[in-house]
Amino acid sequence: MSQSIHRAAEILEYVSLAPRTQSEIAAKLGVHRSTALRMLQTLTETGLTRRHADSRYGVGYRLSGLARAASDQFDLRNIARPVLQELGRDCTHTVHLAVLEGDRIVYADKIEQPGMVRLYSQIGQPVLLHTAGVSKAILAQQDAEKTDRMLEGYEYTPYTDNTIVSRAALDAELERTRERGWAVDDAEYESFINCIAMPIRDSSDTVVAAVSITALKASADLDALAEWQPRLDDVVLAISHDLGWRPHD
């Protein structure tokens, strides 16, 4: 990716979180304010960003329109969303959909409940492979070659006392996930958050995605979340069925 395209993508990602000043964007990119201004002017002229009355820059209307126009291309998200919304309403926790894209896993959808604490995860962002339940649910069902490729050079950054910090430990957890049929995040990224997750299969019986139920530990610990495992199983089976998956005879 050329430097200018990479910087433009960084700007769009940055201002999508909240409107930013020219100085904030320059600092984020590590460039002079004049360089940031030139890029912002181009993005604003094309409608991808817009300048607010307070001189901060935010997402442009054209970008929002492109996102809506392209949404129909994301078939899995469209298929899954109704059942994910229903699951979220019933369990009153946050529900995530993550998909396998090449050799990375990204969040494709996130169902949050009104009044609940917002979690760090963002749609379109890569999932941490060694902490997240959705990543373990997907990795546990990949062949050895695919898993090795995805984990080659991977850094097992510790975030909490429960974080998995080695390939050997992750392999052991993936084996437990295969045996159990579902994955967990036991406060491995944030000490006050945990989740359970299960995989989604496509028509070729390949695991291509996963769904998780994520909660504050004070609201529901792993034992409480495990009570939702049968319902989560129904959800991922329904989505897999809509993708063309059928159980083996």
Residue 30 three-state SS? coil
Task: Encode pLDDT of 49-97 as tens digits.
Answer: 999 999 999 999 888 788 777 766 657 888 899 999 999 999 999 999 9
Task: Encode pLDDT of 172-225 as tens digits.
Answer: 999 999 999 999 999 999 999 999 999 999 888 999 999 999 999 999 999 999
Beta carbons of 189 and 67 less than 8 angstroms apart: no
Own/partner long-range contacts of 99-104 (Cβ < 8 Å, ≥24 apart): 99/208, 99/209, 100/138, 100/207, 100/208, 100/209, 103/146, 103/149, 103/150, 104/150
Residue 150 makes CB contacts below 8 A (sequence gap 6+) with 103, 104, 129, 139, 142
State the pLDDT at residue 238.
94
Query: Average per-residue pLDDT in the chain?
Result: 91
- Name the packing angle between helices 144-151 and 167-180 (round to 10°): 140
Q: Is the pLDDT of residue 112 over 90?
A: no
Confidence of residue 123 (pLDDT cuts 50, 70, 90): confident
Question: What's the pTM?
Answer: 0.74
Task: Encode pLDDT of 127-172 as tens digits.
Answer: 999 999 999 999 999 999 999 999 999 999 999 999 999 999 999 9
State the pLDDT at residue 116.
63
How are beta strands 94-101 and 49-51 bridged, if at all? unpaired
State the pLDDT at residue 203.
84
State the pLDDT at residue 89.
93
- Name the packing angle between helices 229-242 and 75-91 (round to 10°): 160
Residue 3 three-state SS? helix
The owner of tokens 């359970």 is 196
State the pLDDT at residue 78.
84
State the pLDDT at residue 118.
63
2 Ramachandran zone, left/alpha/beta (phi>0; psi -120 to 50): beta
